[in-house]
Amino acid sequence: MDYAAARKVMVDSQVRVNDVTDRTLQAALMAVPRERYCTPGQAFAAYGEVEVEIAAGRRLMQVREVSKLIQALDARAGETALAIAGPYAAAVLAEMMISVTAQEAEAAVFDVVGPALADAGVASVVAPLTQPTGRDWDMIISEGAVAVRPTAWLAALRVGGRLAVVERPGPSGRAVLYVKGREGVSRRELFDAAPPLLAEMTPAPAFAL
């Protein structure tokens, strides 16, 4: 399979037509080998409009959605980013000259994507998704959905930092952008999306007596 040609078709048919106009982001999507961020047996599907399996229940976000999330972050060269359950997003941001750390709860995910992330210059950390590594990030992004507002992730941002994530309290969800200010956090809804929920970020159901 000609993956370079597949990347061009992907950007032309799934990215540009969905109002992703950032030229630097488009170039990064053309450069990053998406097929290296999914289980090898699914590499042929990496450029389709599907959520391809990585490992341990983790899946790649569809490129239409992840590219719109990244564009909303308004990334600037030299900034720092934490990609939580988002290895492909991490690689794209690294291609855009961002200093990126990828965090996963399951080492099995890095067994698949670790070599590609290392080649991209992305640091890898295995830690619970509820406990973001480090502090004072310029950006945090996730390719998985959360059921509720991720307050621990917001706390890990610097003032002026941005978080792009899909909030999915039910069958459907909305991509949102948070911006942390000195007096609080602003929230802006971006588009409809329904990637798989991150089990670690889903509260246990409460039962009333």
Question: Distance (Å, rounded) from C-alpha 41 to C-alpha 165?
Answer: 28
In DSSP terms, 164 is beta-bridged to 141, 177
The DSSP code sequence of 6-41 is HHHHHIIIIIGGGT---HHHHHHHHHS-GGGGS-GG
How far from the centroid of its chain's Cα atoms is residue 208's Cα? Answer: 35
pTM: 0.94
Please give the pLDDT value at position 90.
Answer: 98
Reported as a single tens digit per residue, the pLDDT across 26-49 is 999 999 999 999 998 889 899 999
* pLDDT for 56: 87
pLDDT in tens, 149-173: 999 999 999 999 999 999 999 999 9
- CA distance linking residue 76 with residue 189, whole number of Å: 21
Partnered with residue 108 across adjacent β-strands are: none
